Amino acid sequence: MQQSTKDTILSRRQIEALIAQGQSIIIVNQKVFRVDAWIPYHPGGQKVIQHVVGKDATDEFTIFHCDETRQMIGRYQIGRIDGRWTNFVPPIQGGVFRSDDGEEEDDDESTVLVKEQQDTSSTGLKAPTADAGMHKRHSQPKPTENMAPQDGMTFLDTQTKEEIKLTLSKYPPLDSATQDEIIAKYRLLHKQIHNEGLYNCHYTAYAWEFARCSVLFGTMLFFLRIGWYNTSALFLAWFWSQMVFAAHDAGHIGITQNYTIDSLIGMTIAAPIGGLSLGWWKRSHNVHHIVTNAPEHDPDNQHLPFLAVNHRFLGNIFSTYHERLLAYDKVAQALVPFQAYLYYIILLFGRFNLYVQSWLFLLKAQGPRKGPAKWHRWFEICGNLIFWLWFGYGILYKSIPTPLARISFVLISHMATMPLHVQFTVSHFAMSTTDLGPNESFAQRMLRTTMDVDCPPWLDWVHGGLQFQAIHHLYPRVPRHNLRRAQALVMEFCRDVGIPYALYGFVGGNRKVLGGLAEVARQAAILDKCRRTVAERGDLVWGR
């Protein structure tokens, strides 16, 4: 009997050669998949796939996708692997692949090669990007007048090495035996969570959520009716914030566990009710879940020129998400030293930024144009037009009499959502941004880069599940009303494998974030001093 192509054992060199030819190869449950044909259809965007090319993505694939998707991927299988897989650095992250035939290298040599690639990319000095669907090497943009001088680069490199050293001292070692044990116990925990029914949604809890949001919206209309416009704006802000929690759940297929139904729920909340795009959020947020807190790759911590959450942003790093240089230019040099003081002020304008990002995504058609999500763009465009009809025309123009009152209503209703943006950032801004290489287990990386916020159960509705970010990053499809139970299981898992579990009170977490921003501001001051010193030396040389 002829062996099926899917059962063909592929060697490491064969897989490396396929990736070098531009193919998107991932490994899931010892099976090798070529997913290039799926990339145009992928609702989560192409970059989330590019970040797992050449890696064993079993955990990432399992926790993000529903049963229907996990069954569908079988059509892209091209072979199998035999034995343990040592991850490559994905091309989008700087991995270098050989297409020529050669002798098989042993695991030790392979690990050295991967580590050398990682050391190069982790400093942010030589980060490449990749074309859509392809893995072509690109050279780093040429230095400009805004690039840091050599002394400044040396300072940043030293800070990076110290950061890596400190991180390695706090977390389990990266050897294969230790990481394999973490992976095995993480998967056992996943089975326990599934067996306990924590993936099952409590629809009565959502009935209460719906009732709460209805009361908030009704109260907003009442105060609008009697002319208490500023009070009305406050209730609209609280309504939007509560609805975002449900949209977040739906975006992760965490309500019905059905992709189409949850997408409809999420897009309806996001577009006609909130004036935003769930498609844009998915494209950005899914990458954030895969490369959490990586300065070069995670769009959720790339906020120059306003904020630099890590010293590497002071060195003009290249964003693989935005596909452009994040320049530490004169505007950033003026703002970053004061970022600890500006943090909350900047977050006041967070919702305005979401409008811009949503419309750029929709107008540029950056979402899937094929497959089950191809109609989402038009649904969201129509939904956003409905939003501006009821909010822009119905409330601002028809219900509020004066321009000054309209401006006040917009500012209050949008800026009062600031606590929501604090919740988005507090769980990550103060956590590790170190790149420990491709062989760190998914579970360890998520727990290292994410913190939970401690609060009593009666306040859960205020935080909307976002206080369990570490748990959510480990199991994003678990409905938020089950996250508190899952937290107890994860804490036990952390004690077992020796991974620190970060848990802070809301005030303590904010203090940690502000302390981290202040530290980067201090480093920015040192870097600026380096620049001035080099400039003065240059003057002396020219003076001679």
- Are 368 and 40 in contact, with CB atoms under 8 Å apart? yes
- Are 99 and 13 in contact, with CB atoms under 8 Å apart? no
pLDDT reported for residue 80? 92
Residue 116 lies in a domain: no
Within 8 A by CB and 6+ apart from 69, the residues are: 259
Domain end call among 93, 119, 147: 93
- Are 486 and 299 in contact, with CB atoms under 8 Å apart? no
Q: How many domains does the chain have?
A: 2
Q: Which two tokens stand for residue 447?
A: 């727990």
Residue 108 lies in a domain: no
Are residues 369 and 231 located together in one domain of the fold? yes
**Separation CA 346–CA 234 (nearest Å):** 19
Are residues 186 and 74 located together in one domain of the fold? no
- Are 102 and 51 in contact, with CB atoms under 8 Å apart? no
Within 8 A by CB and 6+ apart from 433, the residues are: 163, 293, 294, 295, 301, 309, 310, 312, 449
Residue 441 lies in a domain: yes
Within 8 A by CB and 6+ apart from 114, the residues are: 86, 87, 88, 89, 95, 437, 438, 439
Rounded to the nearest 5 degrees, what angle is found at the Cα of 360, between the Cα atoms of 147 and 122?
Answer: 35
Residue 361 lies in a domain: yes
Domain end call among 62, 93, 124: 93
Are residues 247 and 369 located together in one domain of the fold? yes
- Give, to the nearest 10 degrees, the angle between helix 203-225 and helix 229-251: 160
Residue found under tokens 């369990």: 468
pLDDT in tens, the chain (544 residues): 445 678 889 999 999 999 999 999 999 999 999 999 888 888 888 899 999 999 999 999 999 887 777 777 888 889 999 989 999 999 999 999 988 654 555 444 444 344 444 443 333 333 333 333 334 433 344 434 444 445 556 777 888 888 888 888 899 999 999 999 999 999 999 999 999 999 998 899 899 999 999 999 999 999 999 999 999 999 999 999 999 999 999 999 889 888 889 999 999 999 999 999 999 999 999 999 999 999 999 999 999 999 999 989 998 889 999 999 999 999 999 999 999 999 999 999 999 999 999 999 999 988 888 888 889 999 999 999 999 999 999 999 999 999 999 999 999 999 999 998 998 899 999 899 988 988 899 999 999 999 999 989 998 888 988 999 999 999 999 999 999 999 999 999 999 999 999 999 999 999 999 999 999 999 888 888 877 777 666 654 434 4
Residue 162 lies in a domain: no
Are residues 217 and 355 located together in one domain of the fold? yes
Residue found under tokens 């590790």: 432
Q: Is this model's pTM higher than 0.75 or not?
A: yes
In DSSP terms, 83 is beta-bridged to none
Residue found under tokens 């109260």: 219
Are residues 68 and 201 located together in one domain of the fold? no
Are residues 199 and 336 located together in one domain of the fold? yes
Residue 76 lies in a domain: yes
- Are 81 and 27 in contact, with CB atoms under 8 Å apart? yes
In DSSP terms, 34 is beta-bridged to 25
Q: Which two tokens stand for residue 541?
A: 């040389």
Number of neighbours of residue 107 by Cβ within 10 angstroms: 12
Distance set, CA 94 to CA 90, 439, 509 (Å): 7, 15, 33
Sign for the pseudo-dihedral over CA of 112, 116, 122, 128: negative
pLDDT reported for residue 171? 94
DSSP state of 167: H
Q: Where are the alpha helices (DSSP H) in 254-322?
A: 259-268, 278-290
Q: Which two tokens stand for residue 357?
A: 């990002």
Within 8 A by CB and 6+ apart from 169, the residues are: none
Are residues 73 and 186 located together in one domain of the fold? no
Are residues 81 and 190 located together in one domain of the fold? no
Within 8 A by CB and 6+ apart from 190, the residues are: 62, 63, 475
Residue 512 lies in a domain: no
pLDDT reported for residue 151? 53
**Residue 18, domain CATH:** 3.10.120.10
- Are 307 and 343 in contact, with CB atoms under 8 Å apart? yes
Within 8 A by CB and 6+ apart from 286, the residues are: 44, 45, 48, 64
Q: Which structural domain range is residue 284 located in?
A: 180-504
Are residues 89 and 184 located together in one domain of the fold? no
Which stretch of DSSP H or E encloses residue 400?
Answer: none
Q: Which two tokens stand for residue 364?
A: 């540029």
pLDDT reported for residue 38? 87
Residue 142 lies in a domain: no
pLDDT reported for residue 101? 56
